[in-house]
Each structure stands twice: as structure tokens, then as C-alpha cells.
Chains A and B, each alone.
Chain A
Amino acid sequence: MSKRKAYYTSKLKRAVHMLFYKRHKKPGVKGWELRKVLGSDYPKVLSILDDYLKSLDLQVKTVFEEEKPSEKPTLEQLDRARFYITLRGDLTPKEAKMIGWRIDDLAGLAITIAYITSKKGKAPRKEVEELLHDKLPEWKVGLNVDRYIRYGYLTQDENEQLYLDWRTRAEVDQKALIDLLLGAETQQESSS
């Protein structure tokens, strides 16, 4: 094995340990933490890891502190970003059930995220609960919203305004969700 290859193999292992295993209360690792352990060429290590994970249907996901930069991110932006390992493809409903989600709860989460996204990332909890109440029993609505907050999909301020939180930014492709919802209705309309 060439010296260079051995170097990156060892870095890859360290990166896998850091990214797969929870180190803090929240999953994921900050860029500066990776730089400290893997060295300043950590973006390259992550890129090799991402390639490697492709065949396993996983990916290295970068969540920037601010909006995603339109050009190549700077080292500073990467240092402040958080890195996660997420699924690259998508789950089937059966698989989603296996990882602990009931179809009702998942549909509720989808509605909540889509609604808050459409309201520029902020919506009163009351409005969201009214929306969920249309299809979920009243006792479940509050519990579900609390659960989404606990898991990190949403956050709530003192005025009971809901915002999208770190897990939504890491796991949900908001643009794809909106496109898919628009598409879903078109299909229904075209069949009727």
C-alpha cells in the first residue's frame, strides 16, 4: 500500500468513528472538530468517504450554519458547518415503520414541515395544530408536535411560534418535499 493511500485509509477510519458514533447530545460533528482530528485536508477525507458510502446508499451531509453557499464553500464556512451521515436514497413506508415511525406521525411531520416551509420557516403552533387536527385526533396533535420538537425537527419560542430545527435542515430536502407535494396533487387531479 502506498504511503499516501495508507494515510487516507487511517483518516477515513477516524472520520467514520467520529461521524457514525454520537459524540455529543446531538449527532453530527462540527467542521472544526474534524479539522482538529483529521487535519486541514478533512474536506478531502470527507469527499473520499462520501464516494465510498455511495455504494452503501449513505452520504456525508453538510449542513451550513447560514444558508447553503451558492459557490464553493470557504474553509471558514466548512469549519462552522455540521457534518452528518444520512441515507442517500429513500426509505419505503415499511422501512420507515421499522425505524419507529407510525404512518400517522410521519404524515403529521411532513405536513408540519411543508406548512412551516411555506410560511418562510415560522408558523404559530396553534395554526399548525389546527392543520394537524383535520386528520389526527385532538389528543395526539399536541403530543406529536412535542415529539417533533424533542427529536429536533422543530423548535418553539416563548411566543409559541414554531421554526424548523437542526434535524429538518439535516434530513429533509425541503425543495424536493414541496415539489413532491405539488406533484402528488397533480396526480390526484389527473386521475379524477
Chain B
Amino acid sequence: MQSRRERVKIGRERLQHIIEMCKSIEERSLDPFLLNVDEIIKIVREYFPEWEQPEDLCLDAETIHRLASVIKLQSEWVKHRSTSLYMDPFLLEEKIRRIEKKEMVAAFLQAWHPIVELEQISIHSLAEALRYWESLLPLNERWKEFPQPEAEAGSATREELIKQRILRDKAFTEELENFWKELREQVEAKGADGRIRYWDFVGAETYEETVQRAFMTSFLVTYGYATLEIRPLEEEIYVRPYEKQVRITAKKQLVSVPIAITLEDWRKWKEAKNNEQT
């Protein structure tokens, strides 16, 4: 008698196998009738009561989705076979091997009606081009350098440079490490399972501040202070801080994750936050 764990393991493997088979039928244009749909449904039904984890339910849903795609292909296959355009590819391969090149070309020439397309200069376009040329300034005039504004040399204080955003008030690494510390504190306070929802972390009182926090978060991830966990089905992104900075090696394939921080998204988040508080 199989234990439940074993059955779950076998079930997962079987569903994975079905997904792979469906994928190869779709991608390699194989005969979709190679798949016995009744048999597959029987397997999916057999293991369905075992699924409790969300990942397993997702696997089950993906299997059904892939199976539906293959059934669609079967319907297209039948439709195509019933049209006059259908020719068995194996039969065709045989024909191609037997037909002489000349015969093939003769057949093609009877079905080929090439497009007539002309390109020709006209007196009108030449005249237009000459007018343009006459009015065109020489390159040295068009690319003339703009005179440099004369600037007087002076002195500025560190505070003034920070105000003008030329210098930052803290060294970047120091700022990043403080931000990392804040992330760990927030995970402890508001997060669960060692992670926090991306928007709960980057979201701030103002939109500008939110963008600044998202910008800093991207550096936390790039420099190995934290990682992003993306759950496409839940449409949620989580930030998980590392206990120690992780050195990212070149051997590992790096992935860029673009996250849009739009004003609309920020407003929605803010509204949801306000609702939660009230």
C-alpha cells in the first residue's frame, strides 16, 4: 500500500509528464491525437483528491490548461484535414523526393503570381530634392558649437551641494545598509515568513518618496542584500532580506525584473492602506 506522501509525489510526476507532453505537441506541431484525452482526464481526476497545497492545485490547473490547448489543436487539425488545403506531410515528403526540380518549378510557376513593384525617380522628386539641398545649411554651420556660458568660479558649502542633489548627505553604501536594516525591521514587525509585500515596504506617504524607496530596493536586490519573490498567480511580489550580504557570482544567470511604480498604483496602494487603518 502506498503512503499518501508517495502518492502525492507520483501524482506530481505524472502531471508534470502530461504538461511536458502537451507542450511538445504544441511546440513541435506533432499530431495532437497522439494524446489520449480520456486517459489524461482519468489521471487528473484520480490525483485531484490528493492536492492540498496551492502549488499542487496550480499544477493541476496547468495540466487542464495544457490539455485544453491540445484539444483546441485537435479541433483545428480536424478542420484543416477537411479542407482542400490538407496534404499529408509524409506523403508530401515522398513526393518531393520523387519529383524532378524542373517539374517542381513548373508546378510552382503556375501558382505563383509575383507582385509588380517599381521604384523610380521622377522629375518632380528630383526638383523637390534640389530645392531641399539648396535650403540645407552646410554641416559646419548646422553643427556649430554653442558658445559656452561664462561661469564665474565660486565656492559652495557641503549643505548647498546636498540641497542641489549633487552630493548626498550620507555615503551611498551607508544609506543602503541603513535601508537594509529598515527592511529587516519591517519584516519582523509587519512581514510574515521572513518576507514582506513589496508595496508594503516601498510604499510611503508621498509618491516621490515611494519612487525613491523602490529605487533603493532595486539596489538592495542587485547588491545581494535581499531578494524578490514573485508569485504570478497571486499577482504579488515579496521582498525577502538576507541575514548576510550574498555575493552574486557571474556563474548564476541574473534576471532583471521591471516593476512599474506608477502614480495610479501608488494611489491604489495608499487608498487600500487607509481603508485597512480605518
A residues near B, CB below 8 A? 20-22, 27-28, 58-59, 61, 84-93, 96, 99, 103-104, 106-107, 109-111, 113-115, 117-120, 122-124, 131, 134-135, 159, 161, 167, 170-178, 180-185, 187-188
Residues of B within 8 A of A58 (CB): 116
CB within 8 Å: A-B pair count: 150
Q: A118-B87, A120-B29 are in contact. Are A131 and B96 (CB under 8 A)?
A: yes
Neighbour of B87 across the interface among A88, A111, A124, A182, CB < 8 A: A182
Complex Cα–Cα for A20 and B119 (A): 9
Measured as residues with beta carbon below 8 angstroms from the partner, the interface class of chain B is 35 or more
B92-A87 in contact (CB<8A): no
Q: Which residues of B contact A (CB under 8 A)?
A: 27-29, 76-77, 80, 84-89, 92-93, 95-99, 101-120
Does B105 contact A106, Cβ atoms closer than 8 Å? yes
Which secondary structure dominates where chain B touches chain A?
helix
Contact A181 B107 (CB under 8 A): yes
In the assembled complex, the Cα of A103 lies from the Cα of B99 at a distance in Å of 14
A173's partner among B89, B113, B117, B120 (CB-CB below 8 A) is B113
Cβ contacts under 8 Å, A103 to chain B: 101-102, 105
Which residues of chain A have C-beta atoms less than 8 A from B96's C-beta? 111, 114-115, 131, 134-135
Q: How far is the CA of A124 from the CA of B105 in the complex (A)?
A: 23
Residue in B85, B113, B117, B120 with the greatest tally of chain A CB atoms within 10 Å: B113
What are 16 sample pairs from A and B whose C-beta atoms fall under 8 A apart? A21-B120, A90-B109, A106-B105, A107-B105, A109-B108, A115-B89, A115-B92, A117-B85, A119-B89, A120-B29, A120-B77, A124-B29, A177-B111, A178-B87, A181-B107, A188-B98
